[in-house]
Amino acid sequence: MAAVQLGKYCQGFTKLLTIFLSILLLGTILLILWLSLRPHRPTFHIIDFNVPGFAQPSGLNDSRITFNVTARNTNKHNGIYYDSVAGLVFYKDQQIGWTPLMEPFLQGPRTTTMLYGKFCGVKLTVTGKRWPEFMNARKQGKVVFRLQITSVIKYKIRIWMLSTIRCMSIVMLELDQKDRSCRLGRTRNVMLISVK
């Protein structure tokens, strides 16, 4: 009698162990698939950043900022649809310029797109108070700008378009007085997921 009860107990335990191991194996397979198929965020890199009127003391009237940025899609099989791409430039945490960079476009897998930006005129709000601050910082040796690239993107996986995601790339730039060159500081890519 005790052997029969032990046999039933072992059969029940074996069934539970089989179910548990099946769920564990299925979960591991799903985790590996998710890690290998999930889309990666785009990366932005500054190629060139130029402030031509910086050498002139009265550069306020002709002030402009130009820059070139690359947007890289590192996904092997997934495209990225950019709804909008805009560039913002900050000095001392105050926005001094804004410009749209590109019309909506689809970037294919493993491709790099050049984004050209120019802040001038109405899009660059350098006040009479702000320009002397630039010049004082220039005399001290370096002027630090923050260039922020914002975009609204959707991932295209085969025939599906996934939800909308807002992403930002923030780059700290130091303009050096001595050799009039631009040194790039640290780059941060920040993903902000929006609920739409």
Helix residue ranges, H only, 38-109: none
pLDDT tens, per residue, the chain with 196 residues: 555 565 666 777 888 889 999 999 999 999 988 777 778 888 888 888 777 766 666 655 667 788 888 889 988 888 888 888 888 888 888 888 888 988 999 999 999 999 898 887 666 777 667 777 877 877 777 777 888 888 888 887 776 666 677 777 776 666 665 555 455 555 555 444 443 3
Tally of CB atoms within 10 A around 184: 14
Spatial CA neighbour of 173 closest among 76, 84, 63, 66: 66
